[in-house]
Amino acid sequence: MGGDDAIDLCYVKDTARAIALLQLTDRLGHRTYNVGSGRATTNAEVIDAIRTVVPDAHTELPTRGAGPQAHLDITRLQQDTGYRPAYDTEHAAADYIAWLRAGNDA
């Protein structure tokens, strides 16, 4: 696993909202929907987001060059429910770290 490896990461609050929208929408045009952010997020972006909130965090990954870049096509979800992710990587990291600092267990 390197800093340049990427995958579609979707913050739990966005995931929950997407699922709620799918359940509450009067009419769906498809049987299957991808729930995600619709973009590939690198491990390096996650580390940068953590360091924005916790500057002295010790998090390092090797850079190996361009790694896999995978993301989900969320076009159906957007068109049928109006879903748009509300949390980018930085806001998701900040929200999660605040939740942990409030005494919640991971």
Domains of the chain: 6-101 (3.40.50.720)
pLDDT for 33: 98
Beta strands in the chain (DSSP E): 6-8, 40-42
Identify the DSSP state of 36.
S
70 confidence band (pLDDT: 50, 70, 90): confident
Question: Looking at the DSSP assignment, which residues form a beta bridge with residue 6?
Answer: 42, 69
Residue pair 46/5 in contact (Cβ under 8 Å)? The answer is no
Beta strands in 25-102 (DSSP E): 40-42
State how far the alpha carbon of 38 is from the alpha carbons of 4, 12, 99, 105, in Å.
18, 14, 25, 28
State how far the alpha carbon of 96 is from the alpha carbons of 46, 68, 86, in Å.
12, 25, 14
Q: What are the pLDDT digits (tens) for 15-53?
A: 999 999 999 999 999 999 999 999 999 999 999 999 999
pLDDT, mean of residues 69-86: 96
